[in-house]
Structure 1
Amino acid sequence: ADNDVIYRAVVESALTLSDILNVPVITRINASYILFLSGHVISGLRVHRDGEYLIYPLGGTVILKRVKDGKQEFLHGHTNNVSCISLSRNGVYIASGQVNFMGFKAMIIIWDYAQRSIYAQLVLHKAKVEALAFSPNSKYLVSLGGQDDGSIVLWNIETKQAICGSPASAQSAGHCLTVQYSNTNDNIFLSAGSGTLRVWELDLTNRKIRPTECQTGKLKRIVTEDDQYIFCGTTSGDIMKINLKTGLLSDFGPVKSKYSLGVSVLKMLKSGDLLVGSGSGTFTLCSRTNFKTLKEVQLEKGVTSIALSEDGQQFFVGTETAQMYRFNYQDFKAELISSSHSSAVKDVAISFGTSELFATCSEEDIRLWHIDRPKELLRITVPNMTCNSLDFMVDGHSIISAWNDGKIRVFAPESGRLMLIIDNAHRMGVTAIAGTRDCKRIVSGGGEGQVRVWELKSRGYRLLETMKEHKATVTCIKVKSDDKECVTASSDGACIIWDIVRFASLQMVIANTLFRTVCYHPEEYQIITSGTNRKIIYWDVYDGTAIRELEGSQSGAINGMHITQDGKHFVTGGDDKLVKVWDYMEGVVTHVGIAHGGSITSIKICSNNHTLVSTSADGAILRWRFPHPLEAT
């Protein structure tokens, strides 16, 4: 492995130098595609001026996605979620700011676009960076702190130093939400928020920025036009046109039909007309003279980003639901180019045998994907509910799923049709689920700690038994290949092996941890477990003794684990955001995958060992090339 790989392995996976030296080669594996757009970052989707790449945040990572073929590159450096992003006019720099924990500084990173590397790290704001904007000639960067910081700072890009700063708004005014630079003057920028609009002028000689106040009401986004007028979108659904020189309201609209749930994003075309996105999902082209709607499209939920190509003939729109659309100016038709979950992905399951389909679950929905194409095949939605776990039945005819309303739902994977619903399956929500290989039974676990076995019939179901030894939430269930036993992991610190024919516990293993995941070795004489103590433990199935203990992570719980069918390797993922591939017999890491921007929640290897799928708490789904394919027989 080269020096960069070893450096990243040591620093980012918290392996010690002795760990590295004990591994012949520790190689970085790369994600072949990623499904995600953070719909919660306002104006988080951008198009580079070269027209080749879309740029957007992924948890704590900045993604560069090539428009032509979807190829992706990842910029790592933030220690927490990215909260805002900006591009310089000349295309040389990307700036991204992050959130951080209370009491800690929030970092800004300026990236060198050509080198895909960190140009500067700027740290002054407390807790959160709310917004960023480059000056027109890329000399300066203005940054706005979050509500707990409340300051504006102007940075010199060449020297990488702060020039000056100031409170973002007057004490009597509300919270400032955004900043926007003048289109022509490096010394003029604007800030806006709840009850405040200010035009700032830089006095470089005295290292001061001086504001001129305008009272305009609650503002969401601002955009400038050749430095004569400011267009402001408001939470009340109005667009206001303000004279930049006088600070006086020149015009406002639309008069009759305001934008429902407010104006969330504004962009100006070269013609001067406005693209407007609203909180209700309405996306319009409107006239700059009278704010009359010229074209309109209704998208799913609120619009959070509008990104224009350099020629203005094509633009991309992102929404709260992590949908990304492409539009052409002429026909103004929405083309959905990517979609993903907009909240934490709870679980992933790969169809047994075929390795072509996989399913993921999150709040309100289950989605089905083809493993070679990053496009959604099917979406199954249950409004206002969260799917905690899911699995494919071995015959491929159904998807079984566990929901927080205490119900088990069974769906057809081809159509998404609801085939069966088991009401009141668990009193405190269904938290884990697995099916037997004969496809005749379901084993479920609940928030109250109970494990239940259900018999599936041609018309309905029957509860066979309730087993009650766990004292807390059941987090994971795996069924033995002969369908006679299963193992359950729980946050009570116990894993129990059950006889699911006689419905009795056979063995219990206990550790000082909240167990998150458990796997049978394919030969089924051992199980491996992990959880919040960051240890990976091998256990003997028959007497419950611990055989081996490994240090799985030094910076967070391990939430997901899966083992290959030949039993030679297993994978883990957790709060350290790293995908790790392990040699089972040697107990060492062979490969490390770095791409996730949030805590990994689930991880699975396809049956042919070609592909690995991981999910995370920021809504991301990543596909990886598994580095140890099965040998041909």
Structure 2
Amino acid sequence: MKVEVGPHHIFSLSQKARNNLIFLDEQTIVFPSGNNCALYNIHQGWTKFIPGLMLYTQEQQGIKALAISPDRRYLAVSERGVQATVSIYDLQTEQCTISQVLMLNGYGILEFVCMAFSADSKYLLCQSGGPNWNLFYWDWEKDEVIAVVNTTKVGIVTQVSFNPVDHTQICVSGKYVFKIFQLVNDCLKKIRTLNIDIKSHGNIKYHAWLPGDSIVLSTEKGKLLLLKDGELHNLRSSSERQMEKSDPSSTAAPPHITAIRAFSKGFACGSTLGEVCLYEKTEYNGYMKAAEIRIPQDACSNEPQEVIEMYLSPSEETLAISTRQGQIYHVNLASVEISQSKQANYLFHLLHLGSITGLSVCSSKTLFATCSKDNSVCIWNYKTNSLELHKEFPEKPNCISLHPNGLSIVVGFSTKVCLMNLLVDEFHTVQEFDMHDCSECVFNHDGNMFAAVTNNLISVINIRTGKVVKLNGQISKVQSVKWCKNDHHLVSCGMDGSINEWNAVTGVCKSKNKTSCSYTDVVISDSSESIISVGGFIIREVASRDMAYTAIAMTHSGQAVFVGTAAGTVRVMQYPLQEERSWTEHQAHSGPITKMFVTPDDQYLVTASGDGSLLMWSIADQNGCKLSMVKETCFIEEVLCSKAFLEKKDQSILEVQSQMELQKEELECKLNQTQVDYEKVQESFLQQIEALKDQIQMLHNEKEEQKVSQEKALAEMRENHAIELKHQSNSFENDMFKVFSVQAEMRQDYEQSLRNQEDNHFHTTMDMKRAYEQLLQQQQDKVHFYEEKLKELQENVDSKFKDSLLQNSQKLQAEKETNKTLQDEKQHMEKQIWRLKGEIQDQCLEISQLKATVEEINVKNKETIEDLQQKMKKQEEELCRERKKVINLKTLVRRMKADINDCSSFVNQPHHLRKNFIRLHKSYIEEADVRLRVMAGVVQQQTRQRAQLQGTVASLAQNQAVEPKTQQADCCKSLKQQTEVLQEVKNSKEMQNSTAELDEICLRYKQELQAEREICSQLKYEMNLLEKQMVQFWKIKGEIQDQNLEINMIKEKVQSLYDQHKNAKKFQKVNKEQTKTVQEQETHLQDIVEMHEKGKKQNKAALTSIKNQLNELIEEKKLFLKKLEAEVKINNKNQQTINELKEKLKVKEKELCTERQRVRNGSLLLDKIKADIQTCSDFLGQPGMLKANFTKLYRNYIKDAERRVVPIEDKNLLDRTRVSRTTKINARVSAARAPPKTERCPVTLPQLPSTRSRRPDKDFLKTIDTFTRKL
């Protein structure tokens, strides 16, 4: 019948996952544990599991983040793996089916660190981890990525969220990052970056959206900031107050806020101080702390627990809190008095924080025990899923075993082993055993003895008699110990692959089975007494191809075997085991399974993991029914308690009874007193009621009287108001009559003053007219006088104008002749420039060809360097392999000598000598032959690889020898004078063979440089001529400018005369004729001046263009020469690098030859020792001959070898020192010097091109520098 398992309950929380605590409804919370998501009902206590989607591998994996939609229907789970996945589950279905699986191809993302749903649950934000930190905006129903943006390059993102009222606006916060993005046209654009003083505030890590588009922010330094309308407001937090109280010289990390959660009235924030503060909105749009909730301190460190997540129930009546220590708390916010400080309680029970190291079950009770690296031991009830006992110890417990009756427990520590009784409310230590580093302990079936493991020693201790039996003989560390059903034998498995069966009474090893597998756990079948062990990738003969086994358990009925793996999965195998690979695998934990067991009634399987999670599985057959037991299990309910506990309990009962009697008497007195007080109060209230009735009647009468008096007063006020209004209207009419009369008098006075002002104005105007006519007569007389004087000046100007016109005509004629001369010289110079330009272009073409050749040589040099570096790397790898062989041979020889030395102590005892020599022969002759046959294939493969490498090196040598010849032939055909020169300089073989050719090349190159110098000197001479002509040209230009100034002055004078003649009436005709003559002359002069200016501009432009062309050609030649110089330097540097690499390769070859010689020497010594041992084995039946031959063997390889080994090692050390010194000396010599030959060198290096002498290159560079300076 097939056996199946299913998850039943889990005792852990994944504290590293983001948003690891969520309220599904008022009764159900969701949290990640192992590789599952658990749905736990707070009131009913049942658990429902959502298994992870990620396939198990040996790599790091697990749930990284959770997110729930605002309508609480969909749950998004992010899992880490080879490729990050996001699974979205529909929580309203019974099985929580998967609605969508989101994956990204091509991005190389391993995990999503945080997620968030939009308000309408349609969109999902997924923030990937480093180093890319990409934010994905997902339409998850369509599996479509709408937008992607990089949120940060240097920071760490801790939270992303949607704006609750606008799904296009999102917020991102974390270390060194706080950004707000807007979705515009399927693109996320940053709309706001908050500039915060990090020194004073710290990094913004968490945030929450509040009503009105405001955001509350928390910083690393414990500050709360409110971002509203683009402005920051500081909110004083408890962490900030704690920082002010703390010692500034303290090295501890400052307290800060680690979680923020918004709700309808405000927001809640949790800190590293182990407290949660509730802030509510005030009337003035601010927030004030309304309550404070404290988390209990950590029992291990006595320090506050850091809050990492908070979540409110849908009605906001319950607040659930998770801490960094992996605990879950809750507090009822709707409880009566939520005061300024309220203590939070555990949601269900305490949980383990560290890896679980020990697990044990009781056969008489429904209890099992666990111990963890968090220094705690817990006793659990697997029927009620509750925690019975818990205790923290000062040191870490390594193992644990529960007594079959459930009343005692054995705990192994690093310094001792403690036997404790389980009392009602505590652990009571009964006895301590002095055993160090106990890694495994286990009670036998009747509980009289327990076995404790210390490294490779097993101690069996009888707790009734105190007798200790030590089981020696296990070579390596013992991994697991199990008792047989009869308690007379126990079975152990070790890391060396041995499985031993021991007699627990005598301490004798009954049987031994050794394999090559390192076992980690063993189990004994109750039904068939067969032994099953697991370890590595093998469970007995059933192999696992993908992951290692770490733990094993078996049902007591013998129907199935459960195996835990390193990836955290549980495999169910039907028993007896099948040859084919047939099992069912279930997802369980995110870390390796360390321990597992089956309860005595075969109802539950319990697995513990390295991630601190503890998972219970229900066991059933394929029809869902319980397994049939061989023997029905009856559980007991008795518990232990001390006498002091009972006395204390009786005393407390008596105290409580006496207190009850006192409280009853006090209650009766209080009831009587309350009755009396009630009657008194009732009587006083009746009297007050009668008095109040009389008072009401009096007030009613007073009200009627006041009403009548008020009506009379109102009538009188109306009559008085009418009389006063009539009187005021009469007085207003009298005042208006007086105002009209005064206005008429003022109008008459104003008209009279206007008439007087008009008379005065007429007389003043007539006086001013007479004075102006007198002044006009005087001005006309002056004009007549100036006209006569102007006529005289006109005659003088005409005579001077004719003289200057004659002089200008003569100067213009001379200038025309000068211009003609300049034009002829210009044409001659242009012809010379074109000729020089052609020559320079030819030289530039040759230089560019030289440059291309140099670049080709540099490329080949680089390829040669890379080949040499690869060869260098291969030589180093082979050298490491040879050195490892030397070390292995030395180790083997040392072990053989040690064993021979041990055997030498039995020379006088033939029987023991023969026994030990047989063991020596078996270890180093028979088993060594098997290993040598296995290694033969490896040695042959290395030999083939070595031969292939030598062939490759030889082919490279041939290619390097052929390439320079082909390159030289091609260059000689394609290049001319300067190309041949550079090829001869760069060709390493010609430079190595002959120095005379170098001198000839340098002489030829100097001659060409001398020719270029002559060309440059001729260009300089022509440039000097041009400069002289330019000086003359500028002189002529200056004279023309002076003439232009004189002409301008004449033009001004003519213009002034023209104006004067134009204004004078008497000389109109004369002025017209003179003006016409002057204009004609002026036009003629202007034409002449413009003609000369055009000629000057043309000459100037031609000279400028000529000068620019010459400068460009010279600069181009300078640039080509500089590039050529740089290429030559690079080539020299490459040649030097090639020589250095060749020297290093030769050194490595020497070292490799040395190591190979050492390997051969070691192999010869080893073969010789084996041959001598084989010779001695022929005399096993002859004790005398065996003793003589063994004595000879001992003398040859132990006594005499100690005197011979030291000189050999010293000689090898001197050889290596001499080789290293030779290498350093050869590295300093010139690259042209031939390196010394080495002996026994298996690889022939190719002769690569190198520069033998540096002198030609230096002369070449010096010549180029001189030529450049002259240019």
TM-score, normalising length from structure 1?
0.83
Match of 2:1248 in 1: none
In the alignment, the residues of structure 2 paired with residue 466 and residue 227 of structure 1 have an alpha-carbon distance, to the nearest angstrom, of 75
Match of 2:145 in 1: 162
Match of 2:222 in 1: 237
Q: 204, 212, 223: which one pairs with 1:219?
A: 204
In the alignment, the residues of structure 1 paired with residue 186 and residue 467 of structure 2 have an alpha-carbon distance, to the nearest angstrom, of 80
Q: 69, 73, 77: which one pairs with 2:53?
A: 77
Q: Deviations over 1:568-622 (max 9, x none)?
A: 4433222354434444336496876555454333221122222222222333322
In the alignment, the residues of structure 2 paired with residue 248 and residue 325 of structure 1 have an alpha-carbon distance, to the nearest angstrom, of 33
Match of 2:255 in 1: 261
Q: Which amino acid aligns with 2:570?
A: V
Q: Deviations over 1:241-282 (max 9, x none)?
A: 222x4153454534523596321111122111x322222422
In the alignment, the residues of structure 2 paired with residue 296 and residue 52 of structure 1 have an alpha-carbon distance, to the nearest angstrom, of 21
Contact residue 358 and residue 369 of structure 1 kept, 8 A: yes
Displacement of 1:199: 1.2
Match of 1:11 in 2: none
Q: 104, 122, 128: which one pairs with 1:145?
A: 128
In the alignment, the residues of structure 1 paired with residue 49 and residue 559 of structure 2 have an alpha-carbon distance, to the nearest angstrom, of 30
- Tell me: CA distance 1:420–1:194, structure 2 relative to 1, closer, same or farther (3 Å): farther
Contact residue 240 and residue 253 of structure 1 kept, 8 A: no
In the alignment, the residues of structure 1 paired with residue 426 and residue 108 of structure 2 have an alpha-carbon distance, to the nearest angstrom, of 47
In the alignment, the residues of structure 2 paired with residue 485 and residue 632 of structure 1 have an alpha-carbon distance, to the nearest angstrom, of 22
In the alignment, the residues of structure 2 paired with residue 280 and residue 412 of structure 1 have an alpha-carbon distance, to the nearest angstrom, of 37
CA RMSD, Structure 1 to Structure 2 (Å): 2.9
Contact residue 76 and residue 89 of structure 2 kept, 8 A: yes
Query: Does the residue aligned with 2:422 lie in a helix, a strand or coil?
Result: coil
In the alignment, the residues of structure 1 paired with residue 569 and residue 422 of structure 2 have an alpha-carbon distance, to the nearest angstrom, of 30
Identity of paired residues, percent? 18
In the alignment, the residues of structure 2 paired with residue 266 and residue 176 of structure 1 have an alpha-carbon distance, to the nearest angstrom, of 15
Contact residue 29 and residue 594 of structure 1 kept, 8 A: no
Contact residue 125 and residue 149 of structure 1 kept, 8 A: no
- Tell me: CA distance 1:384–1:237, structure 2 relative to 1, closer, same or farther (3 Å): farther
In the alignment, the residues of structure 2 paired with residue 229 and residue 410 of structure 1 have an alpha-carbon distance, to the nearest angstrom, of 61
In the alignment, the residues of structure 2 paired with residue 210 and residue 487 of structure 1 have an alpha-carbon distance, to the nearest angstrom, of 67
- Tell me: CA distance 1:227–1:201, structure 2 relative to 1, closer, same or farther (3 Å): farther
Q: Does 1:374 align with 2:385?
A: yes
Displacement of 1:77: 0.6
- Tell me: CA distance 1:237–1:334, structure 2 relative to 1, closer, same or farther (3 Å): same
In the alignment, the residues of structure 2 paired with residue 566 and residue 90 of structure 1 have an alpha-carbon distance, to the nearest angstrom, of 48
For structure 2, list consecutive stretches of 5 or more residues without a partner in the other structure.
56-60, 197-201, 245-253, 298-304, 621-626, 633-1271
Match of 1:343 in 2: 354
Contact residue 224 and residue 234 of structure 2 kept, 8 A: no
Q: Which amino acid aligns with 2:148?
A: G
- Tell me: CA distance 1:237–1:572, structure 2 relative to 1, closer, same or farther (3 Å): same
Q: Deviations over 1:329-352 (max 9, x none)?
A: 133553422232223323321112
Q: 431, 440, 462: which one pairs with 2:439?
A: 431
Match of 1:502 in 2: 506
Query: Does the residue aligned with 2:601 lie in a helix, a strand or coil?
Result: coil
- Tell me: CA distance 1:505–1:291, structure 2 relative to 1, closer, same or farther (3 Å): farther
Match of 1:107 in 2: 85
Alignment of 1:529-608 (within 5 A): 529-533=533-537, 535-537=538-540, 549-551=541-543, 553-585=544-576, 587=578, 593-608=586-601
Q: 265, 269, 272: which one pairs with 1:271?
A: 265
Match of 2:314 in 1: 310
- Tell me: CA distance 1:591–1:631, structure 2 relative to 1, closer, same or farther (3 Å): farther
Segments of 4+ moved more than 6 angstroms: 588-591
Contact residue 39 and residue 342 of structure 1 kept, 8 A: no
Alignment of 1:81-230 (within 5 A): 81-100=62-81, 104-115=82-93, 116-118=96-98, 119-123=100-104, 124=107, 126-169=109-152, 171=153, 174-203=155-184, 205-210=185-190, 212-216=192-196, 217-230=202-215
Displacement of 1:60: 2.4
Q: Which amino acid aligns with 2:189?
A: I
Q: Which amino acid aligns with 2:218?
A: G
Query: Does the residue aligned with 1:565 lie in a helix, a strand or coil?
Result: coil
Query: Does the residue aligned with 1:36 lie in a helix, a strand or coil?
Result: coil
In the alignment, the residues of structure 2 paired with residue 29 and residue 572 of structure 1 have an alpha-carbon distance, to the nearest angstrom, of 12
Q: Which amino acid aligns with 1:77?
A: L
- Tell me: CA distance 1:180–1:133, structure 2 relative to 1, closer, same or farther (3 Å): same
Contact residue 362 and residue 404 of structure 2 kept, 8 A: yes
Match of 1:408 in 2: 417
Alignment of 1:450-469 (within 5 A): 450-456=457-463, 464-465=469-470, 467-469=472-474
Q: Does 1:59 align with 2:34?
A: yes
Q: Does 1:445 align with 2:421?
A: no
Contact residue 195 and residue 215 of structure 1 kept, 8 A: no
Higher gyration radius (CA):
2
In the alignment, the residues of structure 1 paired with residue 147 and residue 160 of structure 2 have an alpha-carbon distance, to the nearest angstrom, of 16
Match of 1:21 in 2: none
- Tell me: CA distance 1:89–1:187, structure 2 relative to 1, closer, same or farther (3 Å): same
Q: Deviations over 1:510-539 (max 9, x none)?
A: 233221111122267421111112x322xx
Q: 289, 292, 295: which one pairs with 1:295?
A: 292
Displacement of 1:376: 1.2
Q: Which amino acid aligns with 2:539?
A: I
Q: Which amino acid aligns with 2:272?
A: G
Query: Does the residue aligned with 1:257 lie in a helix, a strand or coil?
Result: helix
In the alignment, the residues of structure 2 paired with residue 120 and residue 349 of structure 1 have an alpha-carbon distance, to the nearest angstrom, of 39
Alignment of 1:481-500 (within 5 A): 481-500=485-504
In the alignment, the residues of structure 2 paired with residue 450 and residue 76 of structure 1 have an alpha-carbon distance, to the nearest angstrom, of 41
Query: Does the residue aligned with 2:520 lie in a helix, a strand or coil?
Result: strand
Q: Which amino acid aligns with 1:434?
A: V
Q: Which amino acid aligns with 1:408?
A: V
Q: Which amino acid aligns with 1:619?
A: G
Report which stretch shifted further, 559-568 or 130-139: 559-568
In the alignment, the residues of structure 2 paired with residue 68 and residue 125 of structure 1 have an alpha-carbon distance, to the nearest angstrom, of 44
- Tell me: CA distance 1:463–1:232, structure 2 relative to 1, closer, same or farther (3 Å): farther
Displacement of 1:54: 1.5
In the alignment, the residues of structure 1 paired with residue 511 and residue 612 of structure 2 have an alpha-carbon distance, to the nearest angstrom, of 36
More strand by share: 1
Query: Does the residue aligned with 1:256 lie in a helix, a strand or coil?
Result: helix
Q: Does 1:614 align with 2:607?
A: yes
In the alignment, the residues of structure 2 paired with residue 188 and residue 227 of structure 1 have an alpha-carbon distance, to the nearest angstrom, of 14
Match of 1:630 in 2: 629
Q: Deviations over 1:68-90 (max 9, x none)?
A: 42331324313431111111112
Match of 1:540 in 2: none
More helix by share: 2
Contact residue 219 and residue 232 of structure 1 kept, 8 A: yes
Q: Which amino acid aligns with 1:295?
A: E
Displacement of 1:325: 2.2
In the alignment, the residues of structure 2 paired with residue 131 and residue 231 of structure 1 have an alpha-carbon distance, to the nearest angstrom, of 19
Match of 2:5 in 1: 29
Query: Does the residue aligned with 2:576 lie in a helix, a strand or coil?
Result: coil
Q: Which amino acid aligns with 2:531?
A: I
Q: Deviations over 1:114-146 (max 9, x none)?
A: 342221222356333211111112232112122
Displacement of 1:182: 1.3
Displacement of 1:323: 2.3
Contact residue 557 and residue 628 of structure 2 kept, 8 A: no
In the alignment, the residues of structure 2 paired with residue 27 and residue 464 of structure 1 have an alpha-carbon distance, to the nearest angstrom, of 39
- Tell me: CA distance 1:240–1:467, structure 2 relative to 1, closer, same or farther (3 Å): farther
- Tell me: CA distance 1:442–1:28, structure 2 relative to 1, closer, same or farther (3 Å): closer
Q: 332, 337, 344: which one pairs with 1:334?
A: 344
